[in-house]
Amino acid sequence: MQPDAPQQFTVSFAGSIVTIDYDSAEALAYLAFLFGDASIENESTEGLSHLVLQRGDEPGSFHLSDRSTRLHYGPLDVLFSAHLFDSVIFHLVNHARNGIALHGGGLICKGKTVLLPGQSGAGKSTLTAWLTSAQCTYLTDELIFIPLDGQGKVHYLTRPICLKPGSVPLIEPLLQPQQREMIMKDQHGAIIPYRFLNPDSSTAQQPPSLIILPDFNLDSEPELEKVSKAQLSTLLMGCHVNARNLEEHGFRNIVEIARSTPAYRLRYRSFDDIEDMIGDIVPL
Amino acid sequence: MDVSGVIRLKEGFLLERIDDEVSVYHPTLTTAVYLNETGALIWELCDGQRTVAEIIGILSDQYPGNEAQIADDVKSVISRLVEHQIGELIT
């Protein structure tokens, strides 16, 4: 499609919608690469936000703006993608009030739904990518939304796997040679379609039945350690991204998740470490 | 640490006791602290009146022979509460 006039791309998640105006086929292809799996769901919306992705004056450069505020300018590379994801996710959770939004990865491993919460740099995307290549079904590497009442479906923001520079050399060998030419990669990291690691997908809606806290640390001995419920509650509050929208910041709901879900911390330096330890808790 | 000081806990924190441990969260400060079983015992003794030394003394009486470890644990927990701004050491 060669749009002549601005068109609109829609990203929806857990009842929130972000629309992105774009003005070129290149922008559309880029948005489809990043958000093609974040489909429109037929449910009422709690929030509608608006971004604009426009061609810049310099060839190959684009503006990302939030109404009147420029958020980023440059080529459609990994860095631009990081800014766009940050903006979209912010708007998706900014008004979310009927559930807990957690920063983390999610997969299904032999019928068991696994949540990998963690702050930036913990190694959750790397572990998510490895588990996907080990034939777990990828759900997300970034965001999960668990309804407060435990009744509604759980939402997983499905997007390509986003890796920091340090993780790219670990994951690239898992790809086929021709796939390595088709990923987005530069000095800021890489963005890899999850289907390159495992083509299986799922519209899973069940809550996690196991939590693994990744801890990628080259300086520590590998370890798989059971995490207590109180400790898990505290850690999950650090990954809770819409706390201010909820009564008591959703603390009691987080505690209920921690009470009902077994959790482990997985400290690893390499994928060999993971293979040695993961089988004790995750069927592969 | 000045063990003659009194640890006063900030108002407004939320607390959950789970399996002899404690998770504390303060919504205004958006800070969360985990206290293991030992930390939970120390937390219970932080009543805003007792000094650090008194807390050490009470636990040392309950668990004789471990005074040095108890002193380290008490100071460690109180330091964490102060660091996370959930408590304030008044000297």
Residue A214 corresponds to which tokens in the numbers above?
A: 């990744």
Among A139, A99, A116, A117, residue whose Cα is nearest residue A242: A99
Q: Cβ–Cβ of A237/B33 closer than 8 Å?
A: no
Residue A196 contacts by C-beta under 8 Å, 6 or more apart in sequence? A175, A176, A179, A182, A183
A46 within 8 A of A95, measured Cβ to Cβ: yes
d(CA A228, CA A214): 15
pLDDT of amino acid B84: 93
| A214-240 residues labelled b (16+ CB within 10 A) or e (exposed) | bbbeeeeebebeebbbbbbbbbbbebb
pLDDT of amino acid A38: 84
Q: Give pLDDT tens digits for B32-57.
A: 999 999 999 999 999 999 999 999 99
d(CA A226, CA A223): 10
The dihedrals phi and psi of A34, each to the nearest 5 degrees, come to -80, -40
Q: 3-class SS at A136? A: coil
Which residue among A228, A238, A252 places its CB closest to the CB of B32? A238
d(CA A47, CA A99): 14
Q: Cβ–Cβ of B19/A228 closer than 8 Å?
A: yes
Distance from CA of A104 to the nearest CA of B (A): 18
Which residue among A234, A251, A255 places its CB closest to the CB of B33? A234
**How many residues are recorded in chain A?**
284
* Residues in chain A within 8 Å Cβ distance of B24: 234
**Interface predicted TM-score of the whole assembly (ipTM), two decimals:** 0.93
Which residue among B16, B27, B33 places its CB closest to the CB of A255? B16
Among A10, A94, A92, residue whose Cα is nearest residue A53: A10
- Secondary element (H or E) of residue A30: helix A25-35
What are the counts of helices (DSSP H) followed by strands (DSSP E) for chain B? Answer: 3, 5
Residue A220 corresponds to which tokens in the numbers above?
A: 């520590």
* Residues in chain A within 8 Å Cβ distance of B33: 234
Distance from CA of A231 to the nearest CA of B (A): 5
3-state helix, strand, coil in chain B (%, to 5): 40, 25, 30
B48 within 8 A of B6, measured Cβ to Cβ: yes
Classify residue A136 by burial, with Cβ atoms within 10 Å: 0-12, 13-18, 19+: buried
d(CA B3, CA B71): 10
pLDDT averages per 10-residue partition of chain A, 284 residues: 70 91 95 87 63 94 92 97 97 92 94 92 92 95 90 89 94 96 97 95 85 92 96 97 96 96 94 90 84
Q: How many contacts (CB atoms, under 8 Å) link A and B?
A: 56
Residue A63 contacts by C-beta under 8 Å, 6 or more apart in sequence? A52, A53, A54, A55, A56, A70, A72, A73
d(CA A127, CA B87): 37
Mutual angle of helices B52-62 and B37-45, in 10-degree steps: 130
A67 within 8 A of A91, measured Cβ to Cβ: no
pLDDT of amino acid A1: 46
Which residue among A228, A229, A249 places its CB closest to the CB of B25? A249
**Looking at residues B16-22, what average pLDDT do you find?**
96
pLDDT of amino acid A43: 52
d(CA A56, CA A53): 9
Classify residue B3 by burial, with Cβ atoms within 10 Å: 0-12, 13-18, 19+: middle
A162 within 8 A of A126, measured Cβ to Cβ: no
Give chain A's largest Cα–Cα span: 57
**Looking at residues B85-89, what average pLDDT do you find?**
94
pLDDT of amino acid A46: 53
> CB of B35 within 8 Å of any CB in chain A?
yes
Taking the CB of residue A262, how many other CB atoms lie within 10 A of it?
A: 15
Q: Cβ–Cβ of B23/A234 closer than 8 Å?
A: yes
End-to-end C-alpha distance for chain B, whole angstroms: 10
